Chains A and B, each alone.
Chain A
Amino acid sequence: MTDPQPVKPSPSTLNRRKFLAAAGAGVAGGSLLTMLDAKQAPAQIKGTTLRILQWSHFIPAYDTWFDSKLTKEWGDQHGVKIRVDHIPHLELPARMAAEYAAGAGHDIIMNGSSILTRLYYKSLADLSDIYEAAGKKHGGWIPTAKALVEAEGRQYGIPLFYILLPMTYRKDLFDANGLKAPDTWELARVAARTLKPKGHPTGIQFSQCADANLNWRSILFSFGGAELDPSGENVLIDSKETREALRFAKALFDEGMTAEVFSWDDASDNRYLASGIACWVHDAISAYRTTEDTNPDVFKNTFIGMEPAGPNGKRVNTCAANVWMVWKFSKNQQAAKEFLTHMVDTFSEGMTASRGYNMPYLNGLAKKPMPVIGSDPKLQILQDFPPIVAFYGYPGPFITPIQEVVNLFVLPDMFTRVARGQSIEDVMKWGMGEYRRIFAKHKRA
């Protein structure tokens, strides 16, 4: 039992300034929600210009739809001129830093894979109102979404879609060799071991690229490993499960891959599959689409499977997150918020335009059948992925030190070092050293 606390004067005594602030926020929030509900623009956004910076989508048809239909129709309807600039996703962090430094640039800016909410939230507009509204309207967000955009209890971004990296395999090769579908990582390894001598190895990037960061985490997490605890305070890499995952990766490389994987970039596995060589790849469905577009014979026999399970049956798919934010310096925040809400509401249309590439963070939008993937027998399995989706830092949040770990490719380098022959203990020592150094540095800061 605890002693009763002395009664303190209420801190929420209302003075004139607080009253005005609260009333102002209430009126502004209420107006926005009313406006969003009525689907009609207030007079003040008419005649304005909205500038959006985002990546060049891996499925070009999505950009065509976004630029010539979505933005155009919404802009015409609301009297807002929209200008969309596309740049490669790897350049987004540098552009964001430049716009922040200049205090000028686009109104809406996208983050792809590298989510920088926690670095910039002091300079970003608070989007909690539209985040909450979208959650209520569309059946709630998947649990891992909030950590991507939240800082100090507020939401500073709208997670619009994430990208799955499923198992994509050649069914003809598997069938011809009496192999079971790669439903577990062990079965995938057996397949690679069997098919490599027949000219069909597999490949996962042992290099410094985004897919390497995602794929090796999927394996690590499926093996029961973890990067951070849910509080984000403690690094959990030094574990038996990580050692198991590293051991597995070494065996997978030795038995089922060639040295090419050390030079791969994000698109190399697409080409490997499309060229007819790979027996399986673990990649976004752009690999599947590339094969469809360039090699119909291989495509006929290319299938997508559930995320392979680890030794204890656990399945985790580490996905590339995408988040849209609004700068605090934007003079058109109201239009930006309304447009982002419209983007969420038209998600299904966007998913169709992306040929099933974009996956929703909102439960209501993930109901079966989902656009494109729900009607394609080979892709239907993707609808079962949302419960096993994870992001960097899993099961903890994607915090700033993890951002640095990701950008310095610490985890893929651990797997690369093991594949190149370093002992697992040496690699664990090196990897933990890097994690500790980065976290200590951020704590000191």
Chain B
Amino acid sequence: MTSASLQGGGPEPTARAAVVSVAAPARSRLMFRSQTSRRLAFGYLLLAPAALYVLLLVGAPFLFSLYLAVSDANVGDPVAKFIGVENFRAALEMEVFWTALQNSVIFLVVAAIFKSILGTSLAFLLLQEFPGKKLIRGLVVIPFTLPIAISVLAWKWMYDSQFSVINWVLSRVGLIGQYGTDSWPIWLGDPKLALLACIAVNVWRTFPFSAIVLLAGFTSVPLEVLDAAKVDGCSFFQRFRHVVAPMIFPILMIGFLFDTVFTLSDLSVVYLLTQGGPANASKILPVLAYQIGIQAGNLGRGAAIALFLVPLLAPLMFLFLRNLRRREY
């Protein structure tokens, strides 16, 4: 517009041009102020609660636990002094720490495998048309929505060494021997079974969450794409691997990320079932951190143990998020 005005020649157009050349940026600045900046400000305003939430409820406690981990803080003393990496060193010296770390990794990996298998199967089942589908969809999330203390106490009874309903059923159908014999499983007392029993409860509680996340993904895949794959002769597994999985990958990653965090930080199941026993066979890092930090009152050392989850989780999270971002481009 400005250049077009200049092409007219003579003093009048020049004067006009001068007017225009001054007025145009001013108007654009005005527009920016009035539209773009308002939109930007509105965007930041919308983001603010989330950012504030992250800063206050995630960032602040994380920084506080970092502070505790390098101090000699205990639950009853208001004064704590800086002791460097002493708490981390003390944790690494503990045999039980290494047992707990190993158990935490086993817990995470085994639970993830079972949750993937069961969650995917359940999601496919829920995709099918059958009478009472809506009711069933509602019912399957019950384990996830029940208060954890109640559901775990129910499992404690089911695992009871004497009254276990699982054992009595297995015994009646002849798969195990009578009560009191060697083939009667002691779910929470056998070092090999105790951790598995805890993992089973964690899987039972949270695989409906995996299923719901997957179900949301599956329903977002356009039917015509699936139909085209069918027409091209793809089998069920080929369709899942080459069509569905790539399309819902971002959802899968987000679900996996949440699940990893939930599983690694799950204190309640192990604490309520075994407290980490027998002889630390089912001890995981959150339980150890709780026992040392809160029950024994050694906040600094408890925080240091809990922070060992960060190097476990951070690389995983980084890889997930980087993969996700690459796929977006």
Are B76 and A119 touching (Cβ within 8 A)? yes
Q: A264 at interface (Cβ–Cβ under 8 A)?
A: yes
Give bound CA distance, A404 to B288, whole Å. 11
Are B162 and A94 touching (Cβ within 8 A)? no
Residue of B nearest to A94 (CB): B294
Are A262 and B76 touching (Cβ within 8 A)? no
Are B93 and A445 touching (Cβ within 8 A)? no
With A123-B78, A403-B297, A444-B86 as known contacts, state yes or no: A263 contacts B278, CB within 8 Å.
Answer: yes
Q: Which of A114, A208, A263, A444 contacts B159 (CB 8 A)?
A: A263
Give bound CA distance, A407 to B289, whole Å. 11
Are A416 and B278 touching (Cβ within 8 A)? yes
Q: Which of A119, A263, A272 contacts B75 (CB 8 A)?
A: A119
Are A122 and B76 touching (Cβ within 8 A)? yes
Q: B265 at interface (Cβ–Cβ under 8 A)?
A: no
Give bound CA distance, A408 to B288, whole Å. 8
Q: For A56, what are the chain B residues with a Cβ–Cβ distance below 8 Å?
A: none
Are B297 and A262 touching (Cβ within 8 A)? no
Give bound CA distance, A151 to B301, whole Å. 23
Give bound CA distance, A122 to B301, whole Å. 20
Q: A97 at interface (Cβ–Cβ under 8 A)?
A: yes
Q: Which of B83, B194, B291, B297 contacts A116 (CB 8 A)?
A: B297
Min distance, Cβ B293 to any Cβ of chain A, angstroms: 8
Are A207 and B163 touching (Cβ within 8 A)? no
Give bound CA distance, A100 to B78, whole Å. 9
Give bound CA distance, A206 to B279, whole Å. 8
Are B187 and A263 touching (Cβ within 8 A)? yes
Q: Which of B159, B186, B280 contacts A262 (CB 8 A)?
A: B186
Q: A177 at interface (Cβ–Cβ under 8 A)?
A: no
Stretch from B230-238, B240-248, B269-277 contacting the other chain: B269-277
B88-130 near A? 1/0 per residue, CB < 8 Å: 0010011110000000000000000000000000000000000
Q: Which of A116, A259, A263, A417 contacts B76 (CB 8 A)?
A: A116
Q: For A208, what are the chain B residues with a Cβ–Cβ distance below 8 Å?
A: 274-280
With A122-B77, A122-B78 as known contacts, state yes or no: A407 contacts B296, CB within 8 Å.
Answer: yes
Q: B5 at interface (Cβ–Cβ under 8 A)?
A: no
Give bound CA distance, A434 to B186, whole Å. 28
Are A268 and B161 touching (Cβ within 8 A)? yes
Are B76 and A123 touching (Cβ within 8 A)? yes
Are A407 and B74 touching (Cβ within 8 A)? no
Q: A138 at interface (Cβ–Cβ under 8 A)?
A: no
Min distance, Cβ A385 to any Cβ of chain B, angstroms: 28
Are B292 and A407 touching (Cβ within 8 A)? yes
Find residues 402-445 in chain A having any chain B CB closer than 8 Å to their own CB.
Answer: 403-404, 407-409, 413, 416-417, 420, 430, 433-434, 437, 441, 444-445
Kindly count the residue-residue contacts between A and B in the assembled complex, taking CB atoms under 8 Å apart: 126
Q: For A258, what are the chain B residues with a Cβ–Cβ distance below 8 Å?
A: 180
Give bound CA distance, A97 to B278, whole Å. 27
Q: B190 at interface (Cβ–Cβ under 8 A)?
A: yes
Q: A72 at interface (Cβ–Cβ under 8 A)?
A: no
Q: B298 at interface (Cβ–Cβ under 8 A)?
A: yes
Are A199 and B180 touching (Cβ within 8 A)? yes
With A119-B75, A122-B78, A264-B161 as known contacts, state yes or no: A416 contacts B86, CB within 8 Å.
Answer: no
Are A207 and B75 touching (Cβ within 8 A)? no
Q: A319 at interface (Cβ–Cβ under 8 A)?
A: no
Q: B189 at interface (Cβ–Cβ under 8 A)?
A: yes
Q: B295 at interface (Cβ–Cβ under 8 A)?
A: yes
Residue of A nearest to B164 (CB): A263
Find residues 260-281 in chain A having any chain B CB closer than 8 Å to their own CB.
Answer: 260-265, 268, 271-272, 275, 277
Are A268 and B162 touching (Cβ within 8 A)? yes
Are A430 and B279 touching (Cβ within 8 A)? no
Q: Which of B93, B95, B160, B279 contacts A420 (CB 8 A)?
A: B279
Q: B306 at interface (Cβ–Cβ under 8 A)?
A: no
Are A206 and B93 touching (Cβ within 8 A)? no
Give bound CA distance, A107 to B94, whole Å. 37
Min distance, Cβ A416 to any Cβ of chain B, angstroms: 4
Give bound CA distance, A209 to B277, whole Å. 9
Give bound CA distance, A207 to B280, whole Å. 9
Give bound CA distance, A208 to B277, whole Å. 5
Residue of A nearest to B182 (CB): A259
Q: For B74, what are the chain A residues with a Cβ–Cβ distance below 8 Å?
A: 119, 445
Q: How large is the interface on B (under 10, 10 to 19, 20 to 34, 35 or more residues)?
A: 35 or more
Q: Which of A93, A268, A409, A445 contacts B294 (CB 8 A)?
A: A93
Q: For A444, what are the chain B residues with a Cβ–Cβ distance below 8 Å?
A: 86
Are A403 and B280 touching (Cβ within 8 A)? no
Min distance, Cβ B157 to any Cβ of chain A, angstroms: 11
Q: For B75, what are the chain A residues with a Cβ–Cβ distance below 8 Å?
A: 93, 96-97, 100-101, 116, 119-120
Q: Which of B90, B187, B189, B291 contacts A407 (CB 8 A)?
A: B291
Q: For B180, what are the chain A residues with a Cβ–Cβ distance below 8 Å?
A: 199, 258
Min distance, Cβ B164 to any Cβ of chain A, angstroms: 10
Give bound CA distance, A123 to B78, whole Å. 8
Min distance, Cβ A273 to any Cβ of chain B, angstroms: 11
Q: B199 at interface (Cβ–Cβ under 8 A)?
A: no
Give bound CA distance, A97 to B276, whole Å. 21
Q: For A119, what are the chain B residues with a Cβ–Cβ distance below 8 Å?
A: 74-77, 297
Are B298 and A404 touching (Cβ within 8 A)? yes
Q: B264 at interface (Cβ–Cβ under 8 A)?
A: no
Q: Which of B189, B191, B292 contacts A264 (CB 8 A)?
A: B189
Min distance, Cβ A52 to any Cβ of chain B, angstroms: 20
Find residues 183-223 in chain A having any chain B CB closer than 8 Å to their own CB.
Answer: 199, 206-209
Q: Which of A120, A404, A430 contacts B292 (CB 8 A)?
A: A404
Q: Which of A120, A261, A275 contacts B189 (CB 8 A)?
A: A261
Are B162 and A93 touching (Cβ within 8 A)? no
Are A400 and B297 touching (Cβ within 8 A)? yes
Min distance, Cβ B148 to any Cβ of chain A, angstroms: 14
With A96-B75, A100-B75, A404-B292 as known contacts, state yes or no: A413 contacts B275, CB within 8 Å.
Answer: no
Q: For B77, what are the chain A residues with a Cβ–Cβ distance below 8 Å?
A: 119, 122
Find residues 250-302 in chain B having any chain A CB closer than 8 Å to their own CB.
Answer: 274-280, 290-292, 294-299, 301
Residue of A nearest to B297 (CB): A119
Find residues 39-64 in chain B having any chain A CB closer than 8 Å to their own CB.
Answer: none
Q: A121 at interface (Cβ–Cβ under 8 A)?
A: yes
Q: For B94, what are the chain A residues with a Cβ–Cβ distance below 8 Å?
A: 437
Give bound CA distance, A433 to B96, whole Å. 12
Are B295 and A409 touching (Cβ within 8 A)? no
Q: For B78, what are the chain A residues with a Cβ–Cβ distance below 8 Å?
A: 122-123
Are A408 and B296 touching (Cβ within 8 A)? yes
The 10 sampled A-B contact pairs (Cβ below 8 Å) are: A97-B294, A116-B297, A122-B76, A122-B78, A207-B275, A262-B188, A403-B297, A407-B292, A408-B96, A430-B95
List residues of B whose CB falls within 8 A of some A CB: 72, 74-78, 83, 86, 90, 93-96, 156, 159-163, 180, 186-191, 194, 274-280, 290-292, 294-299, 301
4 further A-B contacts with Cβ under 8 Å, apart from A265-B156, A403-B297, are: A208-B280, A263-B194, A416-B278, A445-B83
